[in-house]
Amino acid sequence: MSANETMVICQVCGHENEADQRFCDECGAELQPSEASAKPVPNNAPTLDESSSLISESGQEVSIKRLLSLGRINRYSCMVKDKPGLLLEETPTAPAYLESRRKTLAPIKDLSGVWQPDVSLKHNERVLAAGEIPAGPTLDERVCSDGALPDGELKDLAVQLAELLMALHEKKFLLRSLQPDRIWWTPESKKLVIDSFERLVPQESSDGDFQVVNGFSPPEAYGVGGAEVGPASDLYTVGAVLHFAASGQRTDLESRENFFSFPPLTHLEDDVLSSCISRLTAKDIQNRMENASEFRDFLDLDAPPAPRPTPAPVPSPAPRLQSREIMDEPVDAGLRGCRFQVALQSHVGCVRTVNQDACLQLRFTAVEKSEPREAHLVVIVDGMGGEAEGDKAASLALRTIAKEVLDASLSLKDERVTAPLLPGGPSERNMLVLERALKRANRNIYTYAERDQARRGMGCTITACILEPEEVIIGHVGDTRAYHLRGSEMTRLTTDHSLVGRLVEMGQLTEEEARNSPQRSIIYRAMGTNPEVEVDIYQKDVKPGDRLMVSSDGVWEYFEAQELQSILELDDTPANIAARLVDICLQRGADDNATLAVIFCY
């Protein structure tokens, strides 16, 4: 970086980022560029406490429920006049932002389908604004809980979105990006409200910077295709929302090329609606409908009379809360010691739109010449880097480690053809294999990120375990964690490579203070951020009756040690315990992805 460029300081964690970055290397928050002549002010002031109450300038009470997201403004769910609402909190990095947005959106103040705050507050020298929001779940919560909408409800939703777009475009405003967790709508109420306070702009200002939403923003918002953001972009983002509501599934975000690919909705009975969504989500802007009026008129067309062929069976959408429990089957191979019952859970949480965590359970048993060999691998990965493809870093780590461990477990023992030779003892062998696997994964992520400037900052934290009949070997980088429970004693096996983790280790912070510290997301060691990484290796003996938990920070940071232990001690299955832990995280706000493995030794 040249001397004339200005570093951008993250308003959430204070990390210095290069001038061309849009998301923080450390915590993934959206960055606000500084003025050329001055450093931005880090957002070190604490966020509002849950369950706290504020009094508005007009004397109304606003009660905070939980933090939803951080950025130029911090968003909270709240209660306004004993009714559900949203509260926006201005941050030091964006002074007068709320007032500026109010003035910008004044021409559409009377649009009932667009949420805007109407209650003004001040707290800790910050400006706040709040307003009522319809009660009930968002579209995202409803689809993820109940699955895809039936045709009739989907049609009602499409009509109301089309009419809202018509009203916005008539007033020369653009939506630019929409996502399901910003939509409040139920078929019973027949009333749709969207929260796009930060994104709505007059059409003449459409070239201004805004945060894209992977899977829901149009190609032109990423600079793909050469077109400018305009009314046709709004048609795309609404189409992407409708596709999600119709399928119950998000688009494949494994690569940028798949951001704009939507599988056909062959299960819809309404051909017109299916065709409409297909037209709205066309990658080429020339193939979309011309305007919102055409969108609305299209929905009123009669279905074509020609009978449609019987579609191929479509698998049911996976529920948002995914669980997998695997129990070892007895193998008559001379194996001694523990077997393992493993349950995996991974949830996107209440705030994030993409789950950048990943998890893996890999097991096989081989018998050659009457000699058994077994490999049992459990991996929890927490991707980081915001738009810098943290989910891709997690995927690369997962696949690299699985391949390395599998190759090592099936390596030939003949020293004439095996190179390098592995130690004969299982402990030494597994330690070497895990360390080598994590270092290979680190190099793969780093090399991948170096190919594209947009990927800089991608990385992940990881805890990987090789389970042996009498011990577990753990490879660890970052702030994912592994716990071991035996009887009434629970032990944390790993040490966090984070700033607050180091302060706890030095006795300068308690565990409780660390969990609530605004600096808890600052990691000093991670996978993929440097060409080489130091891997911590741990060994722990196990015996029947022991229990293990491996999790991302999106799980463990919501529990005190005693509460976590009491749940792990429950007389229940690993799958039910894992689900219970994730449910509690969701009840407490889950502002990060939540992923864990619960392992029973028996």
What confidence tens digit (pLDDT) does each residue in 529-564 have? 899 999 999 999 999 999 999 999 999 999 999 999
410: tokens are: 């099936």
* Shared-domain flag, residues 273 and 205: yes
Least confident of 121-135, 332-346, 405-419, 471-485: 405-419
Mean pLDDT, residues 22-30 taken together = 52
For residue 457, pLDDT over 70 is answered with yes
CATH number, residue 86? 3.30.200.20
Query: Residue 430: how many CA atoms within 13 Å on its side-chain side?
Result: 24
Per-residue pLDDT at 20:
58
Boundary of a domain, candidates 104, 132, 160 = 132
Per-residue pLDDT at 353:
84
Mean pLDDT, residues 337-351 taken together = 91
Least confident of 22-36, 250-264, 513-527: 22-36
For residue 459, pLDDT over 50 is answered with yes
* Shared-domain flag, residues 438 and 326: yes
For residue 159, pLDDT over 90 is answered with yes
* Shared-domain flag, residues 117 and 189: no
Per-residue pLDDT at 410:
73
Q: What is the pLDDT of residues 265-304, one digit of tens each?
A: 888 888 889 889 999 998 889 889 989 999 998 888 654 4
* Shared-domain flag, residues 592 and 470: yes
Distance CA 88, CA 372 (A): 61
Distance CA 28, CA 383 (A): 10
Of 372 and 526, more confident: 526
Least confident of 13-22, 273-282, 293-302, 442-451: 13-22
Query: 176: closest CA among 139, 214, 217?
Result: 217
* Shared-domain flag, residues 90 and 143: no
Per-residue pLDDT at 453:
75
Contact between 250 and 215 under an 8 Å Cβ cutoff? The reply is: yes
As beta bridge partners, residue 358 has 381
Which residues, 6+ apart, have CB-to-CB distance to 2 below 8 Å?
A: none
Please state, as a whole number, how many other Cβ atoms lie within 10 Å of the Cβ of residue 323: 17
Distance CA 235, CA 283 (A): 11
For residue 438, pLDDT over 60 is answered with yes
* Shared-domain flag, residues 143 and 3: no
Query: 130: closest CA among 74, 69, 199?
Result: 74
Of 583 and 36, more confident: 583
* Shared-domain flag, residues 23 and 69: no
CATH number, residue 256? 1.10.510.10
Query: 127: closest CA among 102, 97, 172?
Result: 97
In a domain, 204, yes or no: yes
CATH number, residue 355? 3.60.40.10
* Shared-domain flag, residues 150 and 80: no
Per-residue pLDDT at 93:
74
Per-residue pLDDT at 522:
84
For residue 198, pLDDT over 80 is answered with yes
Boundary of a domain, candidates 132, 147, 172 = 132
DSSP structure string for 460-510: EEEEEEEEETTEEEEEEESS-EEEEEETTEEEE-----BHHHHHHHTTSS-
In a domain, 304, yes or no: no
Query: 558: closest CA among 285, 329, 350?
Result: 350
44: tokens are: 């070190």
What's the structural domain count of the chain? 4
For residue 27, pLDDT over 60 is answered with no
For residue 319, pLDDT over 60 is answered with no
Per-residue pLDDT at 39:
38
Per-residue pLDDT at 263:
84
For residue 590, pLDDT over 50 is answered with yes
Query: Residue 562: how many CA atoms within 13 Å on its side-chain side?
Result: 1
Least confident of 145-154, 184-193, 374-383: 184-193
For residue 12, pLDDT over 70 is answered with no
In a domain, 61, yes or no: yes
Per-residue pLDDT at 36:
34
Per-residue pLDDT at 509:
81
Distance CA 177, CA 211 (A): 8
Of 525 and 511, more confident: 525
Distance CA 21, CA 513 (A): 31
* Shared-domain flag, residues 503 and 578: yes
Quote the pTM value: 0.48
For residue 521, pLDDT over 80 is answered with no
In a domain, 305, yes or no: no
Per-residue pLDDT at 254:
52
Least confident of 91-95, 298-302, 575-579: 298-302
In a domain, 276, yes or no: yes
Residue ranges making up the domain that contains 277: 139-299
* Shared-domain flag, residues 13 and 155: no
Contact between 131 and 119 under an 8 Å Cβ cutoff? The reply is: yes
In a domain, 193, yes or no: yes
- The residue whose two tokens read 């702030």 is 479
DSSP structure string for 134-197: -SS-BHHHHHHHH-SPPHHHHHHHHHHHHHHHHHHHHTTEE-----GGGEEEETTTTEEEE--T
Give the orientation angle of helix 151-170 with respect to helix 292-299, to 10 degrees: 150
Per-residue pLDDT at 17:
60
In a domain, 307, yes or no: no
Query: 129: closest CA among 82, 89, 81?
Result: 89
Per-residue pLDDT at 422:
67
In a domain, 308, yes or no: no
Mean pLDDT, residues 446-457 taken together = 82
* Shared-domain flag, residues 251 and 393: no
Of 415 and 490, more confident: 490
Per-residue pLDDT at 480:
96
Residue 85's pLDDT band (cuts 50, 70, 90): very high
CA distance to 71, 124, 249, 343, per residue, from 468 (Å): 45, 54, 37, 17
Distance CA 466, CA 426 (A): 10
Boundary of a domain, candidates 86, 112, 132 = 132
Most confident option among 45-59, 422-436, 488-502, 533-547: 533-547
* Shared-domain flag, residues 529 and 588: yes
For residue 423, pLDDT over 80 is answered with no
Mean pLDDT, residues 515-533 taken together = 84
Q: What is the pLDDT of residues 68-80, one digit of tens each?
A: 887 778 899 999 9
